[in-house]
A and B are shown apart, each in its own frame.
Chain A
């Protein structure tokens, strides 16, 4: 499985994007997001980017006001996920030009399209930025 969920949360703890690769009920999601936000957002720059939570791990990275939190299985390669987050951000940068929280908020659908090209069923599908962005560009032209 690998990736269980990808969350983008701002520093007030508001969810800006949530993509789950295993089914959770609404209550479970709410509880999970709350717990994770409490655990991760309070951490400092000097602490590592990995937090153990329940029976999995959260690999997270902060970009300005936005936290990218990825839940992975315990034996997942943490650094690979950490850089995958960065790849996602770079991809968004390429599309939006210096992506910010508002871009993701108001273009939720595009953020979803990109994510959908990058991750499927919790596995990484594509890591080439141009391949990831092709479908979106096609659509904009259309």
Chain B
């Protein structure tokens, strides 16, 4: 076991996603079976008692990898010396709330957290924003975190990718582990673009492009996309609760691959700062296909983009530009 302990912050720590997520971290699923962690758990003052209960349960799990736990409602304490920050907590959408209001409320939260990252966390802190609107919240944190590299800010689209892979697997009648390189482009919202075209399936006959294995372009360009886009709502309708466990798994996957690297030939989807690749506007947090090695990601270049895809990429791009404009306005107020 490595003796060096890493400090991992989880915000919204008393909530449902965190309840699934924390135990994945404790088990070693996120950073590997040898990596000891110190957990920083942040939530609002009202939830500190609940956090105490979670700590009791972590202790009752006797996890060898948990070196220490800090629970707090204080931002400075939470962000101090953090190496990895998973920002799950955000202002939830209330009934009747307009998107602009939601953006404004969250801009306030992520501005504070961006500053805290710059002022208190480790200089190379890696950040994953989950709380919605994830892309724009990540952007706000990034512009508020003077001195923290822009490449260190990401948002979660891995859940959408996992959902997309699963739909392909179900349609093709294979195990999900045999489906590779399905991409999510853009915003983690209803404009996201699940893209099958560069993906393949390991069939008994060999590596087969998805479009060949599933000869149903209508479905691939139609129901496949809308099912993935609406999956979150479908789970809520069935469970009457949101998809906490699958979100936690996606967070675990995103961090694991970012920190420990992706397998040869594999790409994964991450919301990262756009550099203009594939016709996107620069300076957005945009979900791209990436490869990871040595703790860094690189956007996969040179993938073919047809007109159908161009349009969908443009739509989600434009939505993000508009969110960015609104958010920056709030920040300057």
Say whether A associates with B: no
Report which A residues bind B (CB closer than 8 A): none
Report which B residues bind A (CB closer than 8 A): none
